[in-house]
Amino acid sequence: MLKKLSLILVSTLLFITGVKPIVAETIIESVARNGRLVVGTSFDLVPYAYFNQKEELDGYSIDIVKLIQKQLEQELGKTVELYFVETDSLAETFPKLISGEIDIACNTVFTWQRDQYVDYTMRYSVSGIRLLVPKGTSLNSLANKKIGVPPAAFVKDAMKLAYPRATLVPMETLTKAVEALKAGQVDALAGDSLILDGARQRLALDNYKILPRQSKKPYGRYGVGCIVPENNSTFLNIANYAIAKMMEGYLVGDRESVDIVNKWFGPEGVIEIIDPKLVKEFYENMIINHEQIPFRN
């Protein structure tokens, strides 16, 4: 598995794109010099990063990046501007990150293979693998059907275990995957449950639902975080502090932190399929190995 991934990444990053790491200046040195943090992100990925009805770039990951921006400004004692670069896939994100074109990218699931090439922040979101299916579909009915899968090995592996007799159809992008589902080219889409539900809502797919339901366990569960180029420990520490502070703020009832989370998840949030209790447990587990950050009453 490691060898396979190495061949793919090295081929993509070096032979095809000719990308070579830029190590002359760290992220924190660059931001201190030019006052700008460059963020690679999707522009159409509910609930993480997308343009809202006011045509403003919005999303849970955008809020996280703004918290990192705020912490950077405190550490550096100067204004830091956020500059967003559209990156729609990891195949596009990795070269930009390694070459220094972008400083940070979020909405990313940790894998040991990816960790060979980038460093991860603390995870700030919990999600899992579920299915987007037409209403009336049952899980048992998918045993021999076609299931669309994104270019993520952990999703494909989970579907192989759950539906060994199903035909797994690779999908390049979420947009193409939804089009294939609507056209009946696949019977279900596998993927990140938050993103699938975001797509269902944004595209007004009223005749579709998410399975397994919220009360049931997903096919796999994981945290979502940001990635930065390797050898940027100072910037990584600042980003982690900002994320940890938000999570601890949520746990102790800090209004700003609670508002950020509730805006996106839970009964009054954009995504309702995630249980707030799970969010609370995830935050507790993430910060238990870090120093407590005091909040003023």
Q: What is the mean pLDDT of residues 62-74?
A: 97
Q: Which fold has domain 128-211?
A: D-Maltodextrin-Binding Protein; domain 2 (3.40.190)
pLDDT at 273: 80
Domain(s) of CATH 3.40.190.10: residues in the chain: 2-126+222-287, 128-211
Q: How far apart are CA 13 and CA 91, in angstroms?
A: 9
Question: Is 189 within 8 Å of 147 (Cβ atoms)?
Answer: yes
CA dihedral 27, 107, 225, 219 (to 10 degrees): -160
Q: What is the mean pLDDT of residues 274-293?
A: 87
**Quick one: pLDDT band at residue 11, thresholds 50, 70, 90?**
very low
Mean pLDDT, the chain, whole residue set = 88
Q: Which one, of 219, 49, 47, 48, lies nearest residue 129 by Cα?
A: 219
pTM of the model: 0.87
Q: Which fold has domain 2-126+222-287?
A: D-Maltodextrin-Binding Protein; domain 2 (3.40.190)
